Amino acid sequence: MNINLLFFGDVVGKSGRQALEANLPALKKQYDADFIIVNGENSAGGRGITPKIAISLLRAGAAVITLGDHAWDQREIVPYIDTEPRLLRPLNYQKGTPGQGSIILETDKGKVGVVLAQGRTFIQPPLDNPFTVMEEEVTKIREETKVILAEMHAETTSEKIAMGRFLDGKVSAVVGTHTHVQTADEQIFPGGTAFLCDAGMCGPDVSVLGRSVQPVVNRFVNGMPIAFPVAKGPVRLCGFAVSVDVETGQATLCSRINELVE
C-alpha cells in the first residue's frame, strides 16, 4: 500500500495563500493525496505567519505547516506556536525555544512523520548543526513510522543536496525550501529517498521571489533602501508530490508540482 504526500513551497503573501487555499481541493484530488504539508513562513504579507493564517491553511487542508528563518517575524506567533503542534519551526533552534521541529500524525494509511531543519550556510540566524539534530530526530521518529518527510530550509543547493544524501534510506523524502525558485532535479536516491533541492514558492508569477519587480530592480541598481511589496497578478503554485510504500517507507514515485493559476 502506498501513501501519497503533497508538499507546497513557501507561500508568499495574501495572493499566494488565497490561490493555494482555493486550489488545494482540486490538487488533492488530482494527486490522490493522503497528507499535505505547506511551508507558510512568508504567508503574512511576505514575512512570517499569524495564528489566523495558520488556522486558515489548516482548515483548507494542510495537515502540517512548516516555517523557516522568518518564523518569528509576526510577534503573535510566539505565544501561539506552543498551542498548535502542527505548526513547525526548525528543529535546530536551541532548547527552550517555543514550538517544536517535528510531528507524527495518524492517517487512514498509517502514521506520517514530518521533520524540519534550517541550514547554516548564508542564512540567519545561525542554528545548531542541522545534520546531527536531524539524524537524532529521524531515529526517534522511525521507532513509530518509516514514512517520514524531511524539509531542509536552506540557502545553498550544496547543503540541501548533502542533507538529501545524508538521509537517503532513513526518510521517505527530503525537500528543500527557502530560495523560492523551484529546481528541476527531482529524483529517488539509491536508498529509496525522494529528493527535490527546492520546492519553489506559491506566489505571484511575475515577480522577484514573490515581490514586485521594479522596487527590487531599483535596489540592485542604486543600492537605496526601499520597501518590497508582494507582487500582484497570477500565482504559480509549486511543490513536490511523493508516493511512499507504507511498509518500507521508501518512495516509489515523485514529481514536481508547477501550476499557474489566476
Catalytic residues: 70
Tally the residues of the chain.
Answer: 262
Query: Strand locations in the chain, DSSP E?
Result: 2-8, 10-11, 35-39, 64-66, 87-88, 102-107, 110-118, 148-153, 173-177, 187-188, 194-196, 201-204, 235-245, 251-261
Cβ–Cβ < 8 Å for 50, 73: no
Among candidate residues 58, 12, 3, the one with its CA nearest the CA of residue 172? 3
Pairing of strands 87-88, 64-66: parallel
DSSP at 228: -
- Of 51, 55, 52, 87, nearest to 68 by C-alpha is 87
